[in-house]
Chains A and B, each alone.
Chain A
């Protein structure tokens, strides 16, 4: 067993970055995720592992520092919350277009605009459908515990380098701020510069080592035929993700007649709803998407063959519900229940919504 600690989600993700052997973190303070950079600057990871931590002058600068460093094959990450992630979208689009590996943590708060500092899941569309300009997706992991805030750092980097793509850890203010027991992984060694050059020197801009041909990191091609081919290549990566790297969890779905689909903190609340419903003899199960892109379409399609209805529970006006509807494809009823503006629903009100919208409806 690894080291056990009581930590906030924001602290756990920061500690996990150090232990993962991350080379650089570039961030900018914003509530409710400022503990990430505060933890890192307090821990002084340059003394522990040589990891660079820099507070940038803006989210724009932070994401572009990430772009520069990711283009050299270094393992780099940033974190922010909703308004800050909006500012980062230009850079994220460049990173996706240039096919660079990196990890972006979004501790979502309520919007739109400056919104609120309370938790929300209203950035689902932005995270899963692209976010910036152009046809691209992020690989999106949704932690529903402090443990997963830590564990998903390793998983995120594995996917980032497997696909050479930006990966988002889509958390929310509940997961970022709450404290839970977390088991930390042992410290990994950072790659040396020579190891980075050996592993990624075929594409990374690290200087023309050994007099090789120059490497170029760009998302630009003025030749439309080449740009179309590049887009087709990007889409093929997203198709491969759908085949190989969909993740989800099913809770008590074996005998279920009704299913709640929920991720992140909404999934934690929905777990409690199972208990409430089963006490009343209602066979409820929960499907928790762990990857939001690629979305777990197939397990939902399978469940749609035998259950009576789905309730998508999310702290938004109804975003993920669209993907649930696409997967269910009209076979059974799909409804949405959510709260907005930073309100976290109680298990009781979710249960009421289930009864009214799905069971009774």
Chain B
């Protein structure tokens, strides 16, 4: 059998969503951002909401998300994406607005915007990619860097007495009255990818139904920043990140479903 006998429409089992552009991703090979981008865009395509969807790109590794996501997008200043999204959803209440943010953006410089948008219950989806590090600027400590974890600004490991504790912001926003669906996922295996996509789809459907703030954390690897191979970084993530950031739903349909302490 030759290759031309295989490449036929009837043999097609999967193709890239048209909601992703053909631009080459700027992410390091092995990083979870590309998969997470694709899942968000597949959901936009499947729900048929491209004419109403507006995305907000952050500052961080995904600052150029608008180069890859084939929807209208606004690039926000560092940490301000939830405020930018608020301005849009308040003046266009029937649109579908989402932010896509990393941990430095959402949980350090943008903590105030994150908490207040969630507390007001802005009808938006927040996609929060947590890799425990500032990737774009070269691997500095993030608010989510684990105790003892090395980074370029914690070269001997995060000393919580000196640097403070990691912030579990997802557990925090789950307790706010404005959030409707708060959940934590990962994209390192096909099973987890499927679960994450299901959660993203539920979040977008909730926004279509005007249910309030939808908050999805995706715990991700940063093989470059962690200075590991992609495979090793995923193993490290499972062993070290998941015990501190356990996967699963925290709040569903406006009700807390997990002990958050």
Residues of A within 8 A of B (CB): 23-24, 26, 52, 54, 56-58, 60-62, 64-72, 74, 76, 90-91, 94, 98, 193, 205-211, 214-220
Contact = CB atoms under 8 A, between A and B. Distances in A.
Contacts of B83: 56, 60-62, 64-65, 68
Contacts of A58: 112
Interface stretch (B30-38, B46-54, B216-224): B46-54
Interface string B70-98: 11111111001001111110111001100
A216 B73 contact: yes
Contacts of A60: 80, 83, 112-113
Contacts of B85: 68
Nearest to A94: B77
Q: Nearest 7 A-B pairs (CB), nearest first? A: A68-B87, A65-B87, A68-B84, A64-B83, A69-B87, A218-B75, A57-B116
12 contacts: A24-B91, A56-B83, A64-B83, A66-B87, A68-B56, A68-B83, A69-B87, A70-B87, A206-B92, A208-B71, A216-B66, A217-B74
Contacts of A68: 56, 74, 76, 83-88
B141 interface: no
B129 interface: no
B44 to A, nearest CB: 10
Given A68-B56, A91-B80, A214 B87 contact: no
Interface string B25-67: 0000000000000000000000000111110110000011010
A241 to B, nearest CB: 25
B51 A54 contact: no
B235 to A, nearest CB: 33
Interface of B: 50-54, 56-57, 63-64, 66, 70-77, 80, 83-88, 90-92, 95-96, 112-113, 116
B91 to A, nearest CB: 4
Contacts of B57: 218
Contacts of A91: 77, 80
B53 A207 contact: yes
Nearest to A215: B72
A61 B85 CA distance: 10
A117 B90 CA distance: 31
A24 B77 contact: no
A76 B87 contact: yes
B72 A52 contact: no
B99 to A, nearest CB: 10
Contacts of B64: 220
Contacts of A70: 87
B113 A52 contact: no
Interface centre among B52, B66, B70, B84, by most A CB within 10 Å?
A: B84
Given A205-B72, A207-B52, A61 B112 contact: yes
A45 to B, nearest CB: 13
Interface centre among B54, B76, B91, B96, by most A CB within 10 Å?
A: B91
B59 to A, nearest CB: 9
Nearest to B76: A64
B87 A208 contact: no
Given A61-B112, A205-B54, A71 B86 contact: no
A71 B53 contact: no
Contacts of A193: 92
